[in-house]
Amino acid sequence: MNIVGQGRIRMSTWLGAVFVAVCVFGAGQVEAHKMPKSEICHFKKRKGIFKKISVSGRAARKHIRRHGDSHPGEFNPVHMVTLDDDCNIVDNPPLVLARAFTELKDVPNGIYDPNQDISIAALVDADGSGDVSDGDTVTLGDYPLQFEPDGNNMGDFGTFTLSNHTVVVVLLDDPGLLISVTLDSGAIIRWEIGGGFEQYAEELGSTGVQLLDNMGQQFVSDLILVREEFASSQPDTDVFPPITQPDSLDSSFLQIRHYQPAN
């Protein structure tokens, strides 16, 4: 083959490659253009507000999972607020049906303050029914690793890394005594008051989390037990063997309250 023929073949091959590349790029642009958009309420941490943005469905899922964002008009279980269709915070917060928390105020009063105290686990009336029901939300936060944790040292707390759950079965709704539910993960959660102690517990086949504050029972000690293998909430720090202390007073490391407005 002469030089002219070889040049024509090379030119034809190059033009063919360019044509394929243009077609692939154009198809990608068409597919990207066709991808449906989803509106979400994106939380702007510095300003403490939510802003409505439009992103792809895949990006929306990442925002909700990683940044605590949510869709307009929904309850946000991470920030414990309800948003309207424009991503404004609704003034009437949902009822917290049960909460376990560590009280860190200088003068303890048994009332949860989000600016000072640490929420361990909150059962939120997501559907607005006024009582515990299927579809309500359980939001998990941090838990104490010792009986007198320092609020300025987060090393005194572990974190439940799988923080958001949905109630699928109501086992008992007895305010002032015991509220117990089964989650979508299969775990059973209990917020217990009365009988001379307060207790928060999570079970998945066996006890995964047990925080017990003795307030007058004989032969009963305060207790902290955490085992990741039996907790669907995936705590990041085990406390096993459990730690105990003989005590008959109401200790601040664990407070349990039923049916209180969200703060």
What pLDDT sits at residue 21? 46
Does the residue 54 lie in any domain?
yes
Q: What is the structure's pLDDT at 142? A: 96
Residues 125 and 248 in one domain: yes
Residues 103 and 192 reside in one and the same domain:
yes
Per-residue pLDDT of the chain (263 residues; tens, 9 = 90+): 544 454 454 545 544 544 444 444 454 454 445 567 889 999 887 778 899 999 988 888 778 777 778 889 887 777 777 888 999 988 667 889 999 999 998 888 888 998 889 999 999 998 888 999 999 999 999 999 999 999 888 899 999 999 999 999 999 999 999 999 999 999 999 999 988 899 999 999 999 999 999 998 888 899 999 999 999 999 999 999 999 999 888 899 999 999 976 55
d(CA 156, CA 235): 14
Whether residue 252 lies inside any domain: the answer is yes
Q: Identify the pLDDT of residue 226.
A: 98
The answer on 250 and 124 residing in a single domain is yes
Q: Are residue 72 and residue 110 in the same domain, yes or no?
A: no
229 and 147, same structural domain? yes
Residue 157 lies in a domain: yes
> Residue 191: what pLDDT?
98
Q: Is 89 domain-assigned?
A: no
50 and 99 assigned to the same domain: no
Statement to judge: residues 230 and 146 lie in one domain: yes
Last residue of a domain, one of 82, 106, 135: 82
Residue 5 in domain:
no
Say if residue 75 is in the same domain as residue 99. no
Looking at the structure of the chain, the number of domains it has is: 2
Residues 72 and 102 in one domain: no
Domain identity same for 99 and 78:
no
- Residues whose CB falls within 8 Å of the CB of residue 164, separated by 6 or more in sequence, listed in order: 77, 78, 137, 138, 139, 140
Tell me, yes or no, whether 32 lies in a domain: no
Domain assignment present for 113: yes
Domain presence at residue 248: yes
Q: Which domain holds residue 170?
A: 95-261
pLDDT, residue 114, reads: 87
159 shares its domain with 71: no
Residues 121 and 165 in one domain: yes
